[in-house]
Amino acid sequence: MKVIAQIPKENCHVTLFSWNGKYIVKIEQGLLEQTYKINAMDITGESEVYNLIENEAFMQSVRTRFDAMNESLQMAMDIF
């Protein structure tokens, strides 16, 4: 797996990989992680992956999902 870029964003960190005909977008926030796989044949080039990361609507949905993930984890951990 080849690291293409590491991009710090507000409240998260994005790492782009190229692997096996796919671009992998890994977004981390604390102990949480979201991973998106994009088939390299579905896009015209690496620049489209960067456009995805710069898309505010997409990144807002990522932040919202992190909030939901954190809430789910906290509720599950309250059992212990």
pLDDT, tens only, 10-54: 899 999 999 999 999 999 999 999 999 999 999 999 999 999 999
Identity of the amino acid at 67: D
The answer to whether the CB of 13 falls within 8 A of the CB of 27 is yes
Which residues share a beta bridge with 15? 6, 26
Angle between helices 46-54 and 56-77 (to 10 degrees): 70
pTM: 0.91
* DSSP code at position 80: -
Cα 45 to Cα 12: distance, rounded to the nearest angstrom: 24
